[in-house]
Amino acid sequence: MKFTKKKKIILVSILAILIVASIGYYKFSNTEEHKNIPYSKFTTLVNEGKIDTVILSEESKIKGTFKDGTLFKTDNPRTENFKEVLLLSDVNVKESDGNTTIKDVVMFVFFLGGFALLAFFINKNTAKQAQKEITQMSTIDNNNGGSDKTNFDDVAGNEEAKENLKELVDFIKNPDKYERYGARIPRGVLLYGPPGTGKTLLAKALAGEANVPFYAVSGSDFIQVYAGLGASRIRDLFKKARNAGKCVIFIDEIDALGKKRRGGASGGGNDESDRTLNSLLTEMSGFNGNEGIIVIAATNRIDTLDEALLRPGRFDRQIEVGLPDINARHKILKLHGKNKPLSKDVDLRRVAYETVYFSGAKLENLMNESAMIAARKNDEKIRKNHLDKAFYTVIAGEEKKDRSSVSYQEKEITAFHEAGHALVTKLNSPKNRVTKITIIPSTKGAGGFSMNIPPDKMYKTKEEIKNTIMTALGGRVAEELIFGENKITSGASNDLQKATKMVVSMIASLGMDKEAGLINYEAIGGDVRANGYIIKRAKTLLNEIYEETKELLSNNKELLEKLTKELLEHETLDEDQINELIDNKDF
């Protein structure tokens, strides 16, 4: 039997209350020990006038109090006129203590209730219990009413994601307008990227800007619940949202409930999470579109998501929320430094420079930690040395303690590698567009280089294919050229895969290698991967192209170094910056 965390807490609390109550009750009803005395002694003591009170009950025991206040009990072979004898001996007599019975009844009911509650929680698959679970879903975050409303000004960097979401503000506000124009109305947006990059913040900001409620849940809340419960939680969530009218629903860690189903439709996946996922999809298809409800999901593992989630009408808009580059980091630092007394010796640009691979959350943490240190020291301002100290607190516990120096090397290698790709592309044909180079890793891959080869053509020439192979090899070539044969890195693995595939297809299926001839090896049948001749031929051709690429880059080494230097400084270069750097050279 599985218990969710919440349920475990409730169970333990009920048990604890029962135990404490029984101990309390026991103590209360036996506040002091009753001294057991024989009946004969009792009669003697009565005669001696040592007894103060006697309580008569139905039980076979008599309890009472001595004159000195101590308690006693004794067996009860009552004589016929027992009470009169006692009264005559000047003993107070009370009939059995009625209060006790009422107390007992109360306790009995209490225990019964407690155990019923226990049984209720342990007994699974009851409708009532599901109901109970659902009531607990009122823990759903709904925080956008107050004055601390989040908006897009609270998000720094992430400009692309911001622009993308800004479009949705108007849609939430005026869904009818879009419907009138017949525009397909977005329902779900998937934000993907590393933790702490502001995905939740963006979703909140969207709700804040559109001035609608924000409902947040986490995918992990839906796993490990009883059968059918995940699905009913989803239904409940959407019901709540619909009742609220326009709103933003945020599902964090969507990968927890929308994992790729293993082994196809029939195969061994987790039925429960399938059910939950299906009910999410059903709810999303149930939108009319003009309700002004947007579902935003977040994940840092888009690769593991079930494709069903990404289809049209579901989370068909996917926005990457990546780690901030130096400019974005500077903006984030400024944002979180706004309400803090920063001393003049704090140079946030410099801090941004030194915090490669920091997420927004980590930067916020850094600023906050510095403020704490300054406050602890009762310093008037937050100073550079506070930030330095905070830096180590923030990165403490991470593998690489001396992140700044290690990362500089990594940064430099990455920069040369990426610059190599870009430069080869541009050198081979200035018409090729390189739209972006970055050394900040993206979720999709380690590399940070994007190019568009214009225009979309039906056919590719041999030269173009060869150029594409050169571009792929450009990263590794740059590494070797600058750092030497022994310092080349594993970063080129993907590039080599691409290059190999292209070379093999040139030889085996496109008839583009003179020596191999026009034979299309796939037409003959058999696996090209096992064809020794093709492998040998591919190796030769690839080496030739590699040497050619090396020559190209060594002839333009200065340009490579210049591009790399700029890249190291700015971390990301856009198309204009790239063109300006390269076009200045007459090659």
Query: Minimum distance between the CB of residue 200 and ligand ADP, rounded to whole angstroms?
Result: 3
Query: Minimum distance between the CB of residue 428 and Zn ion, rounded to whole angstroms?
Result: 16
Give 86 or 161: the residue with its C-beta nearer to ligand ADP: 161
Could you confirm whether 418 is annotated as catalytic? Answer: yes
* Tokens representing residue 533 in the block: 């001749």
**Residue 199 touches which of ligand ADP, Zn ion, none (CB < 5 to 8 A by kind)?**
ligand ADP
- Interface with ligand ADP, residue 255, by CB under 6 A: no
* Tokens representing residue 115 in the block: 């155990």
**Residue 230 touches which of Zn ion, ligand ADP, none (CB < 5 to 8 A by kind)?**
none
By beta carbon distance, the residue nearest ligand ADP is 360
Of 361, 446, 453, 528, which lies in the binding site for ligand ADP, with binding defined by CB under 6 A? 361
- Interactions with ligand ADP, residue window 285-324 (CB under 6 A): 298
Cα separation values, 429 from 38, 235, 435, 532, Å: 114, 55, 14, 34
**Residue 335 touches which of Zn ion, ligand ADP, none (CB < 5 to 8 A by kind)?**
ligand ADP
Long-range contact list for 398-406, CB < 8 A, 24+ apart? 403/357, 404/354
Residue 75 has phi, psi (to 5 degrees) of -70, 165
Of residues 253, 272, 283, 418, which has the active-site annotation?
418
- The site for ligand ADP, by CB under 6 A, has a size of 17
Helix axes 532-555, 403-428, angle to 10 degrees: 100
Q: In angstroms, rounded to a whole number, what is the distance separating the alpha carbons of residues 368 and 5?
A: 31
Give 198 or 447: the residue with its C-beta nearer to Zn ion: 447
Q: In angstroms, rounded to a whole number, what is the distance separating the alpha carbons of residues 432 and 455?
A: 9
Long-range contact list for 62-65, CB < 8 A, 24+ apart? 63/34, 64/91
Q: In angstroms, rounded to a whole number, what is the distance separating the alpha carbons of residues 184 and 281?
A: 18
Query: Minimum distance between the CB of residue 134 and Zn ion, rounded to whole angstroms?
Result: 50
Of 175, 188, 196, 258, which lies in the binding site for ligand ADP, with binding defined by CB under 6 A? 196
* Tokens representing residue 518 in the block: 């026009």
Q: Is 577 helix (H, G, I), strand (E, B) or coil?
A: helix
- Interface with ligand ADP, residue 335, by CB under 6 A: yes
Query: Minimum distance between the CB of residue 427 and Zn ion, rounded to whole angstroms?
Result: 16
Query: Minimum distance between the CB of residue 522 and ligand ADP, rounded to whole angstroms?
Result: 45
Judge whether 503 and 468 are in contact, CB under 8 Å.
no
**Residue 337 touches which of Zn ion, ligand ADP, none (CB < 5 to 8 A by kind)?**
none
- Interactions with ligand ADP, residue window 99-158 (CB under 6 A): 155-158
- Interface with ligand ADP, residue 199, by CB under 6 A: yes
**Residue 156 touches which of ligand ADP, Zn ion, none (CB < 5 to 8 A by kind)?**
ligand ADP
- Interactions with ligand ADP, residue window 525-554 (CB under 6 A): none
Query: Minimum distance between the CB of residue 193 and ligand ADP, rounded to whole angstroms?
Result: 6
User: H or E stretch including 294?
Assistant: strand 293-299
Give 147 or 490: the residue with its C-beta nearer to Zn ion: 490
Residue 93 has phi, psi (to 5 degrees) of -120, 130
Q: What share of the chain is helix, strand, coil (3-state, %, to 5)?
A: 55, 10, 30
Give 198 or 475: the residue with its C-beta nearer to ligand ADP: 198
Give 65 or 158: the residue with its C-beta nearer to ligand ADP: 158
CA 466 to chain centre: 42
Give 325 or 495: the residue with its C-beta nearer to Zn ion: 495
**Residue 560 touches which of Zn ion, ligand ADP, none (CB < 5 to 8 A by kind)?**
none
Query: Minimum distance between the CB of residue 468 and ligand ADP, rounded to whole angstroms?
Result: 34
Angle at 351 (CA atoms; ends 347, 356), nearest 5 degrees: 160
Give 36 or 493: the residue with its C-beta nearer to Zn ion: 493
- Interface with ligand ADP, residue 219, by CB under 6 A: no
Helix axes 326-337, 557-570, angle to 10 degrees: 20
- Interface with ligand ADP, residue 195, by CB under 6 A: yes
* Tokens representing residue 155 in the block: 């998000």
- Interface with ligand ADP, residue 198, by CB under 6 A: yes
Stretch of 60-68, 136-144, 190-198, 377-385 lying at the interface with ligand ADP (CB under 6 A): 190-198
By beta carbon distance, the residue nearest Zn ion is 475
Of 200, 273, 299, 564, which lies in the binding site for ligand ADP, with binding defined by CB under 6 A? 200
**Residue 188 touches which of Zn ion, ligand ADP, none (CB < 5 to 8 A by kind)?**
none
Sorted by sequence, the CB contacts under 8 Å of residue 554 that are 6+ apart come out as: 481
Judge whether 329 and 363 are in contact, CB under 8 Å.
yes
Angle at 161 (CA atoms; ends 158, 164), nearest 5 degrees: 145
**Residue 64 touches which of ligand ADP, Zn ion, none (CB < 5 to 8 A by kind)?**
none
Q: In angstroms, rounded to a whole number, what is the distance separating the alpha carbons of residues 538 and 509?
A: 12
**Residue 475 touches which of Zn ion, ligand ADP, none (CB < 5 to 8 A by kind)?**
Zn ion
What is the SS3 string spanning 73-129?
EEECCCCCCHHHHHHHCCCEEEECCHHHHHHHHHHHHHHHHHHHHHHHHHCCCCHHH
Give 72 or 416: the residue with its C-beta nearer to Zn ion: 416
- Interface with ligand ADP, residue 189, by CB under 6 A: no
Interaction site with Zn ion (CB under 5 A): 447, 475, 495
Q: In angstroms, rounded to a whole number, what is the distance separating the alpha carbons of residues 365 and 355?
A: 12
Judge whether 197 and 360 are in contact, CB under 8 Å.
yes
Give 156 or 581: the residue with its C-beta nearer to ligand ADP: 156
- Interface with ligand ADP, residue 276, by CB under 6 A: no
User: Tokens 């830096």, residue?
Assistant: 391
Of 46, 168, 185, 201, which lies in the binding site for ligand ADP, with binding defined by CB under 6 A? 201
Positions annotated as catalytic residues are 418
* Residues of this chain that bind ligand ADP (CB under 6 A): 155-158, 195-201, 298, 332, 335, 360-361, 364
